[in-house]
Amino acid sequence: MYNLELQNNLITTSVYGSAIALILIGLYAVLVKKNLIKIVIGLSIIDAGIHLLFVAIGYIKGFTAPIFSPGSENLANKMVDPVPQALVLTAIVIGFATTAVALSLVIRLYKHHNTARIDQIKSLKW
């Protein structure tokens, strides 16, 4: 069980801060930008922020990577939590797939409407 308040040094704070900043920047891009490509980029930035936050919560100061290799068999209680790292790997793959689908839809929209601006595509009610 890792408590956010306990990891109070400068590095972790900056990691958390930049993760939240990334999420906010991405949110800004998705909500404000009109260009479809920029919106997709915004989605990717949000994803990156979440992934960074995920890795950060599993980190314990001074602990090593959770890999059992020759010479580190006895370090099991000196390793950072491996679960968030495994989850992030999965989440990255999912984010990749979503981005790929999103970009292909943008291409289709561009061919269909001859524009990539979201405020000029209004065949359906937004």
Contact residues for another protein, defined by CB under 8 A? 1-4, 30, 36, 39, 43, 46-47, 50, 53-54, 57, 83-84, 87, 90-91, 94, 97-98, 101-102, 105-106, 108-109, 112, 121, 123-126
Write down the least CB distance from residue 2 to another protein, Å. 6
Q: Which of 119, 122, 56, 121 is nearest to 87 (CA)?
A: 56
Write down the least CB distance from residue 5 to another protein, Å. 11
Contact 45, 26 (CB under 8 A): yes
Write down the least CB distance from residue 93 to another protein, Å. 9
Write down the least CB distance from residue 57 to another protein, Å. 5
Closer to another protein at the Cβ: 11 or 96?
96
Cα 28 from Cα 61, distance rounded (Å): 32
CA dihedral sign of residues 89, 91, 96, 101:
positive
Closer to another protein at the Cβ: 55 or 75?
55
Half-sphere exposure of 37 (CA within 13 A, CB side): 4
Contact 97, 16 (CB under 8 A): no
Closer to another protein at the Cβ: 71 or 124?
124
Closer to another protein at the Cβ: 75 or 87?
87
Cα 81 from Cα 79, distance rounded (Å): 7
